[in-house]
Amino acid sequence: MPSVDIRTLILLLGLGNLLLFLALASFRFVQADARSSVTRTWTLSKLLQGLAWGLLWLRGEIPPFWSIEVGNTLLLGGVALEALAAWRFATGRTPRWLVVLVAAAVLARYPLNGLGNADAAQRVVVASLLVAGLFGVTGWAVLWKRVERTPLQFVVGGCTLLLAGVVMLRGLVAAWPGQGFALFDANFIQVATFLALFLLMLVNGVGVVLLDTERSGERLNTLATRDSLTGVSNHRDFQRRLRVMLASASRNRYPLTLMAVDLDHFKQVNDTYGHPVGDAVLHSFAQWCEAAVRESDVVGRVGGEEFMVGMNGASLEEATAIAERLRAAVAASRVAVNPRESVEVTVSIGLATLTDSDDVATLVARADAALYRAKRNGRNRVEIDGQVSLPTGQRWREPMSELPVDPVARPAAGP
């Protein structure tokens, strides 16, 4: 195979990681979100790796303590920080056991190197196996620990795991009797390892920025479509999704029922107990509502204390049963104000089923009209557009035992 200078590859690794450190530091600096996944930890890992490769490149030109002990320790430390940053990126936290594990991997090189009496081949084996293990943790975190997986994650995580395999193979080859080699020895596995390290450095550096941008986009989409207090769809997103549901129902000729829900006397709750308790009531109601409706239904907050639920494929009878279940569940629940006091909540509900002449505006108007009629008729009831009012609870079809509800909900800690 063509001759490749290992020392030159090591120099390129050092310069590349230092440039990535500067790029990531600048990228992190311009991020408005301090919780950006391009954390200080990930950026610092590139600095340590850049310095480590620089010291390794200078081996033979500087004292062995700096090029061997400090260089290898910085390299392991940098890769360990990258593993911690990847885990935090994927899960949002850094468990203590992982910190202990990566710290043990960094410190393990000292007793393990002692087994070979500071032999160069022994140092290659130890460094390779420890670095491979840390890269394995990084790849595993990126690829499998994050719930929402994207094609970009598969690329970055897969490349990292592939590199871990190459580096581990280097260690195993160096450990094979009669096959040991030193840092600058040029052979197939050495060239493959350092080329893989160089390519991963590029994929990793670009991938980290792209993954962070991808997550920022997801966060912005959540802010644009979800109500920050309750977590359900906001008014704009609900209107968009309702238009899609209406078009689909009209095209496929299946029923669509819209439920309009309003918390009764909500202003009195705010005036009596304050806005934090009012926020807790809204947050709790949103949870009760999502528990009562079907998984395919869309819940949205369309006003201060007004919510709507789009129920695709729900007949009027099925929608009425769901609405009565929600009304009864809310009436049976309480929101705690303090350890000795709780507030009762009831809701009024209006239902309207899609007709051939309906668009979004008319369907919403008919559901609202039914809701206002429920309020006029005494609140804490369900009314159906175009039908004669019945006593509260008469349309009840399902026992309360089918809806598990905490009878006393605590105020939410925050939006």
Three-class DSSP category at 155: helix
Look up tokens 């239904």; give the residue. Answer: 297
- CB-based burial of residue 70 (10 Å sphere; 0-12 exposed, 13-18 middle, 19+ buried)? middle
Contacts of 132 (CB under 8 A, 6+ apart): 164, 165, 167, 168, 171
Farthest-apart Cα atoms in the chain, separation: 94
Q: In what order do the strands lie in the sheet with 306-312?
A: 298-301, 306-312, 256-263, 347-353, 382-384
Look up tokens 């299946």; give the residue. Answer: 254
Helix count (H) and strand count (E) of the chain?
14, 8
- CB-based burial of residue 151 (10 Å sphere; 0-12 exposed, 13-18 middle, 19+ buried)? exposed
> Does the annotation mark 341 as catalytic?
no
Question: What's the rounded Cα separation, in Å, for the pair 285 and 307?
Answer: 10
* Reduced 3-state DSSP string for 248-292: HHHHHCCCEEEEEEEECCHHHHHHHHCHHHHHHHHHHHHHHHHHH
* Ramachandran angles phi, psi of 182, nearest 5°: -100, 180
Question: What's the rounded Cα separation, in Å, for the pair 284 and 406?
Answer: 10
Q: Which residues pair with 335 in a beta bridge?
A: 343, 409
- Using CA of residue 334, residue 337, residue 342, residue 345, what is the dihedral sign? negative
User: What is the per-residue DSSP string for 282-318?
Assistant: HHHHHHHHHHHS-TT-EEEE-SSSEEEEEEET--HHH
Helices (H), 2-119: 6-30, 40-57, 64, 71-91, 96-107, 109-114
Catalytic residue among 82, 305, 324, 383: 305
Q: How many CB atoms lie within 10 A of CB 346?
A: 16
Question: What's the rounded Cα separation, in Å, for the pair 380 and 238?
Answer: 24
Residues with catalytic roles:
305
